[in-house]
Amino acid sequence: MASFLHFLLPFSLISIYVLAAPTHTPTPTPLEGLLPNGNFEEPPKPAALKKTVLVGKNALPKWEISGLVEYIHGGPQPGGMYFPVAHGVHAVRLGNEATISQNIAVKAGSLYAVTFGASRTCAQEEVLRVSVPPQSGDLPLQTLYSSDGGDVYAYGFRANSTSVRLTFHNPGVQEDPQCGPLIDAVAIKELLPPRPTRFNLVKNGGFEEGPHRLFNSSNGVLLPPRQEDVTSPLPGWIIESLKAVKFIDNKHFNVPSGVAAIELVAGRESAVAQILRTVENKVYTLSFSIGDAKNGCHGDMMVEAFAAKETLKAPFKSEGKGKWKTVSMKFKAIANRTRITFYSSYYHTRVDDFGSLCGPVIDEVRVFSVRA
């Protein structure tokens, strides 16, 4: 019996050790991808559809609707209109004061970006209101950045609980009650907070952290104006202009470094900024890459950069071949906070499509201290 207990003891200890050993929960993968029925390809039941109009608040699978919401099949429409659905086959159109909403499970305190395809459908000025309470923003759709109706936007928000309600709302009251924005895809991505380093005071200086890019979109993602850095879909950066800035990737565009960059597509109305922690009277170098996206954007380009009291005008002659160069300037900090700002001096369109706005690409923004 003693020998049996002696034989059993090591196994008992192993069992106790295994039971007592700490378990490591794997780190959850950051949320990214289409929302449930985010491309609207799961159709409503026939009884929930009257011609193109959705009937009942739960008529659109996975979404809740109110007001006049239409379920649209892309292409020619009755009455002679044509609706391009660039990111699939189906879309929804929001009539006067109409909304679609969905609840999303998120991490409280985390930053997210919603990416969605949106375009206007009538000649009137249209606005799309995006809200995740208590935040809300109005997106003007009058300016078309691409002529094929394939504009994709991103909207940033910080979650204040573990469940948020995303709502798209058409606040307009048009003469034609059916006129309103078309939405054809909705995705989400959790954004990781970037940090400055010893070698670069700029957060997300290479623009590698940004919104989800729809897999079937080749136009880049438009970052709406007036997005503060705390909720910007481009972490660390403020979109402080009147028009959008475009987030581009190396799959569809030429970028100087890494997988992403930004394109200043609306001249002086397209600007980004960041506020850095600096030491007053210390001298720093600001450097960045400027080029073209190899997307047919051509001509004399210029990016103007500002830091403290210094200004740099960086010219670049684009032949649309994806070339780039690096420029730099020194500046002396005049406070413990320094704003750096970039905008394009000129407006540009693609040589093969005058209806598509484009502009210079900037990437690899760096600020580091130097000896005076």
Summarised one tens digit per residue, pLDDT across range 274-313 is: 999 999 999 999 999 999 999 899 899 999 999 999 999 9
Condensed to tens digits (0 to 9), the pLDDT of residues 27-39 reads: 455 688 999 999 9
Q: Which of these, 249, 245, 273, 252, lies nearest to 360 by C-alpha position? A: 245
Q: Is the CB of residue 225 less than 8 Å from the CB of residue 219?
A: no
- Sign, CA torsion 326/291/214/224: positive
- The pLDDT value recorded for residue 83 is 80
CATH superfamily of 193-372: Galactose-binding domain-like (2.60.120.260)
Q: In CATH, what number does 29-191 get?
A: 2.60.120.260
Domain ranges of the chain: 29-191, 193-372
Q: Is the pLDDT of residue 11 over 70?
A: no
pLDDT at 16 over 60: no
Given this model, what pLDDT does residue 30 score?
Answer: 67
Residue bearing tokens 């600020």 = 367
Q: Which residues contact 339 (CB under 8 A, 6 or more apart)?
A: 273, 274, 275, 276, 306, 307
pTM (2 d.p.): 0.87
